[in-house]
């Protein structure tokens, strides 16, 4: 991807009447220096090392104890200053509640995107008492200001990433968030009305018609109660289909619905595509319906839930489900429409196929013809054929029905093949050479194996066969190849999300970072080396997706000055230059303020104790990266004012005093001077200055 050199503009220096330097609409100084210009990849010609350079390189390698593989790995991952990465890895941030964006192959952290956890740098959740972020994080009236982000899902068109939106699920609280990839900010959070926690979000259908959220631990749907003795009668699983309105960039809750499922523990999902378009697949464990109870001498969940050899792959015909929803064949649970099990069974919406054994991932091949299921306690992956599944459904080749009347397809009728890979297979991704890659948790390895005979001309191996294994450090969970879960995977890179790093990095106390290991999968056969170790010292990242960077259409400044990122439109409330000031209506005060290097306007804001203050702030900047912050100490206010951004916040001025506010971003040479005072005058008749007497008391302690 070619990037032209950055456009340079000469600095326009205005000397304001007050003698302050105001640098408006300029880039940081000294861009004229050649050394600071971005160096596009296109400018780099072929190199030939001189004997002196070879000697230099050899000396560095010997001094640092590097071998030739190390040098090659360094050359494959090093990004010269200003060169951009080829891919962006969007990773769940685990218990941090965030999403991390990481460049590949450099593995440099580009940004953490605040989602379920307030984050002060981004001003996310620190915009006063009516902050829409804080309100969207409430569950049943309680603030739930963290999340366990699990599965990011990029929006797709025709089964391929389109770079428009990113969805991310919160396992702990069964929530789904929508991130707009124009400004990389969270726009919406929806809470599942049926279940408190989940696991299988988010997965999208090939044109992002729906975002699928699978459940996990069965409960009484709609946040109900029943004792564990009534597990089979009253506990249920579910899968929710959130309708996505691409035009609005929001989940359309009123056109979303769920399916009631038996109280197995539904797990990951994947949408069919190509040959399997119109279906989605969810696997499950604990079809034993174990209820645990070690404290009563019962077998623990881990034993009870893994007794049987087979669990059930759930096969859902989502177009039929959509038709049933539109025909009103639903029951309202906690105000949300649910297709009940008897309807799913009667309408042919839901079928099961046996799957061995305590499965975790189900992953659809790029052509959509096969579903790969990895059973944690089975050394094989089991490959199902959609052609065979459709035939078995049409011919009603059921081996049995489960306790809830769901037809179970005959295993041998739907199975294509089983491929032995090793211990603890979890998840599978694909490349452009006809290979599949499966993570092996117990083996701590990535297995490369060949897909069926139709890919033989590409992979040049026997079909359905283990080809190579690369050890990873350690305990790999998910893995992610470049666009490796789309209709057209890119190959080249694969990231192993290794859960333990043990001795890979300097120890950081008893809590150690996790390890994202980058593998070069561009070669065939057994060549699949680890080329970079990247410590992740925040949360426990769970799953990630890797998109070609040139598919993203990221804004670097907001389209207009006065832009409201919540509505993605120009906000009529945004003050314009020349409209600044403070107005009062009774005890309601409105502050209209602008920010530009290096001052706020106005600089003094005077209100009375008890006033209700609505503060509107707009960044007049239109220059890339000219971000300002705005904080008021003691009032829990901190904003990020990106170029053009408008923010409104409200608070009650309930504590009198003198409050300096200042810009929290080092935006210019006179950044420290970018400040002002909020004066909150004590109520008439109140004694003295409370702030001063409090200070005296505090220092006397
Ligand atoms: Cu604006 Cu610092």
Reading phi first (left if > 0) and then psi (alpha if -120 to 50, else beta), residue 460 is in left
Give the Cα separation of 249 and 211 in Å (integer). 13
Whether the CB of 596 sits within 6 Å of ligand 1: no
DSSP 8-class letter at 694: H
Does position 270 have pLDDT exceeding 60, yes or no? Answer: yes
Whether the CB of 667 sits within 6 Å of ligand 1: yes
Task: Specify the pLDDT at position 525.
Answer: 86
Which atom of ligand 1 is least distant from the CA of 597?
1
Task: Specify the pLDDT at position 201.
Answer: 85
Specify the 3-state DSSP secondary structure of 298.
coil
Taking Cα atoms as reference points, which of 103, 68, 54, 63 lies closest to residue 518?
103
> What is the mean pLDDT of the segment spanning 56-60?
97
User: Measured between alpha carbons, how far is residue 302 from residues 233, 293, 294, 296, 537 in Å?
Assistant: 22, 11, 10, 15, 29
> What is the mean pLDDT of the segment spanning 196-216?
93
Does position 692 have pLDDT exceeding 70, yes or no? Answer: no
Contact 616, 593 (CB under 8 A): yes
Task: Specify the pLDDT at position 561.
Answer: 98
> What is the mean pLDDT of the segment spanning 194-211?
94
Query: For tokens 């970079």, what's the residue?
Result: 532
Specify the 3-state DSSP secondary structure of 690.
helix
Give residue-wise pLDDT tens across range 578-602: 999 999 999 999 999 999 999 999 9
Which atom of ligand 1 is least distant from the CA of 666?
2
Whether the CB of 111 sits within 6 Å of ligand 1: no
Taking Cα atoms as reference points, which of 443, 517, 538 lies closest to residue 100?
538
Task: Specify the pLDDT at position 34.
Answer: 52
Tell how far the Cα of 661 is from the centroid of ligand 1, in angstroms: 11
Q: Return mean pLDDT, the chain.
A: 91
Which atom of ligand 1 is least distant from the CA of 671?
2
Alpha helix segments (H runs only) across 397-498 = 411-414, 456-459
Tell how far the Cα of 619 is from the centroid of ligand 1, in angstroms: 11
Does position 124 have pLDDT exceeding 50, yes or no? Answer: yes
Tell how far the Cα of 612 is from the centroid of ligand 1, in angstroms: 26
User: Measured between alpha carbons, how far is residue 556 from residues 85, 101, 444, 469, 664 in Å?
Assistant: 17, 16, 40, 41, 20
Give the Cα separation of 109 and 96 in Å (integer). 15
Whether the CB of 617 sits within 6 Å of ligand 1: no
Query: For tokens 């000031």, what's the residue?
Result: 581
Binned at pLDDT 50, 70 and 90, residue 233 comes out as: very high
Does position 637 have pLDDT exceeding 90, yes or no? Answer: yes
Give residue-wise pLDDT tens across range 20-49: 344 444 444 444 445 566 777 777 788 999
Tell how far the Cα of 646 is from the centroid of ligand 1, in angstroms: 16
Q: Which residues have C-beta within 8 Å of that of residue 466, sequence separation ≥ 6? A: 419, 420, 421, 422, 447, 448, 449
Tell how far the Cα of 648 is from the centroid of ligand 1, in angstroms: 18
Binned at pLDDT 50, 70 and 90, residue 436 comes out as: very high
Give the Cα separation of 379 and 95 in Å (integer). 30
> What is the mean pLDDT of the segment spanning 259-268?
94
Give the Cα separation of 416 and 402 in Å (integer). 23
Task: Specify the pLDDT at position 695.
Answer: 42
Whether the CB of 24 sits within 6 Å of ligand 1: no
Instruction: Compute how many other C-beta atoms are within 10 angstroms of the C-beta atom of residue 442.
Output: 15
Contact 605, 635 (CB under 8 A): no
Whether the CB of 129 sits within 6 Å of ligand 1: no
Tell how far the Cα of 630 is from the centroid of ligand 1, in angstroms: 8
Give residue-wise pLDDT tens across range 277-324: 999 999 998 888 988 888 999 888 888 888 888 899 999 999 999 999
Specify the 3-state DSSP secondary structure of 437.
strand
Name which residue leads in pLDDT, 256 or 685.
Answer: 256
Whether the CB of 641 sits within 6 Å of ligand 1: no
Tell how far the Cα of 662 is from the centroid of ligand 1, in angstroms: 8
Task: Specify the pLDDT at position 686.
Answer: 62
Give the Cα separation of 75 and 83 in Å (integer). 14
User: Measured between alpha carbons, how far is residue 299 from residues 9, 218, 294 in Å?
Assistant: 71, 18, 6
User: What are the two backbone dihedrals, phi and then psi, of residue 54, each rounded to the nearest 5 degrees?
Assistant: -60, -40
Which atom of ligand 1 is least distant from the CA of 628?
1
Whether the CB of 599 sits within 6 Å of ligand 1: no
Burial of 144 (0-12, 13-18, 19+ CB in 10 A): middle
Tell how far the Cα of 665 is from the centroid of ligand 1, in angstroms: 5
DSSP string spanning 461-484? Answer: S-SS-EEEEEE-SS-EEEEEEBTT
Task: Specify the pLDDT at position 605.
Answer: 98
Q: Which two tokens stand for residue 23?
A: 């640098």
Which atom of ligand 1 is least distant from the CA of 672?
2
Q: Which two tokens stand for residue 448?
A: 């490369």
Give the Cα separation of 290 and 307 in Å (integer). 9
Tell me which H or E stretch contains 227: none
Give residue-wise pLDDT tens across range 484-507: 999 999 999 999 999 999 999 999
Whether the CB of 619 sits within 6 Å of ligand 1: no
Whether the CB of 631 sits within 6 Å of ligand 1: no
């Amino acid at each position: 991807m070619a990037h032209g050199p950055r456009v340079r503009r000469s600095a326009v220096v205005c000397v304001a009447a007050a003698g302050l330097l105001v640098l408006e609409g300029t880039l940081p100084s000294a861009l004229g220096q050649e050394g600071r210009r971005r160096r596009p990849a296109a400018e780099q010609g072929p190199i030939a090392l001189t004997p002196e350079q070879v000697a230099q390189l050899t000396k560095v390698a010997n001094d640092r104890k590097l071998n030739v593989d190390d040098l090659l790995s360094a050359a494959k991952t090093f990004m010269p200053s200003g060169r951009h990465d080829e891919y962006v890895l969007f990773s769940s941030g685990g218990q941090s509640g965030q999403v991390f964006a990481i460049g590949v192959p450099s593995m440099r952290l580009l940004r953490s995107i605040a989602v379920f956890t307030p984050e002060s740098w981004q001003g996310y959740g620190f915009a006063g008492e009516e902050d829409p972020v804080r309100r969207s994080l409430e569950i049943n009236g309680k603030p739930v200001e963290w999340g366990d982000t699990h599965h990011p899902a990029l929006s797709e068109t025709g089964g391929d990433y389109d770079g428009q939106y990113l969805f991310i699920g919160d396992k702990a609280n069964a929530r789904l968030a929508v991130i707009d990839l124009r400004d990389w900010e969270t726009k919406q959070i929806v809470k599942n009305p049926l279940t408190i926690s989940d696991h299988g979000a988010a997965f999208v259908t090939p044109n992002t018609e729906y975002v699928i959220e699978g459940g996990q631990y069965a409960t009484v749907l709609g946040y109900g109660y029943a004792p564990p003795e009534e597990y089979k009668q009253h506990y249920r699983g579910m899968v929710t289909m959130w309708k996505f309105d691409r035009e609005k960039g929001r989940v359309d809750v009123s056109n979303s619905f769920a399916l009631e499922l038996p109280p197995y523990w539904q797990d990951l999902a994947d949408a069919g595509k190509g040959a399997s378009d119109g279906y989605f697949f969810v696997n499950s464990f604990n079809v034993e319906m174990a209820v645990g109870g070690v404290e009563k001498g019962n077998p623990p969940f881990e034993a009870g839930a893994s007794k049987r050899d087979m669990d059930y792959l759930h096969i859902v015909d989502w177009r039929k489900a959509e038709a049933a929803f539109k025909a009103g064949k639903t029951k309202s649970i906690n105000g949300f429409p649910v297709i009940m099990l008897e309807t799913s069974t009667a309408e042919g919406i839901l079928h099961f196929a046996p799957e061995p054994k305590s499965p975790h991932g189900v992953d659809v091949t790029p052509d959509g013809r096969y579903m790969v299921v990895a059973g944690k306690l089975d050394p094989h992956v089991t490959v199902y054929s959609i052609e065979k599944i459709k035939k078995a459904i049409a011919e009603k080749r059921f081996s049995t029905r489960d306790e809830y009347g769901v037809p179970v397809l005959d295993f041998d009728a739907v199975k294509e093949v089983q491929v032995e890979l090793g211990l603890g297979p979890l998840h599978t991704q694909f490349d452009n050479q006809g290979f599949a890659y499966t993570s092996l948790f117990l083996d701590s390895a990535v297995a490369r194996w060949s897909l069926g005979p139709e890919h033989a001309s590409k992979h040049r191996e026997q079909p359905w066969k283990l080809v190579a294994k690369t050890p990873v450090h350690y305990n790999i969970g998910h893995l992610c190849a470049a666009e490796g879960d789309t209709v057209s995977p890119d190959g080249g890179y694969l990231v192993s999300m290794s859960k333990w790093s043990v001795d890979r990095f300097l120890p950081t106390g008893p809590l150690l970072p996790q390890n994202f290991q980058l593998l070069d999968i561009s070669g065939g056969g057994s060549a699949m080396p680890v080329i970079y170790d990247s410590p992740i010292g925040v949360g426990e990242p769970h799953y990630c997706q890797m998109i070609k960077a040139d598919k993203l259409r990221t804004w670097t400044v907001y389209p207009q000055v006065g832009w409201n990122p919540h509505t993605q439109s120009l906000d009529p409330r945004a003050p314009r230059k020349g409209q600044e000031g403070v107005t009062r209506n009774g005890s309601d005060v409105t502050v209209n303020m602008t920010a530009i290097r290096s001052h706020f306007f106005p600089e003094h804001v005077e209100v009375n104790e008890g006033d209700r203050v609505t503060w509107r702030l707009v960044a007049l900047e239109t220059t890339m990266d000219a971000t300002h912050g705005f904080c008021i100490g003691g009032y829990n206010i901190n904003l990020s004012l990106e170029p053009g951004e408008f923010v409104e916040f409200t608070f009650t001025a309930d504590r009198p005093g003198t409050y300096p506010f200042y810009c929290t971003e080092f935006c210019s040479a006179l950044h420290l001077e970018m400040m002002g005072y909020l004066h909150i005058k004590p109520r008439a008749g109140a004694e003295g200055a409370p702030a001063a007497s409090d200070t005296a008391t505090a220092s006397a302690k």
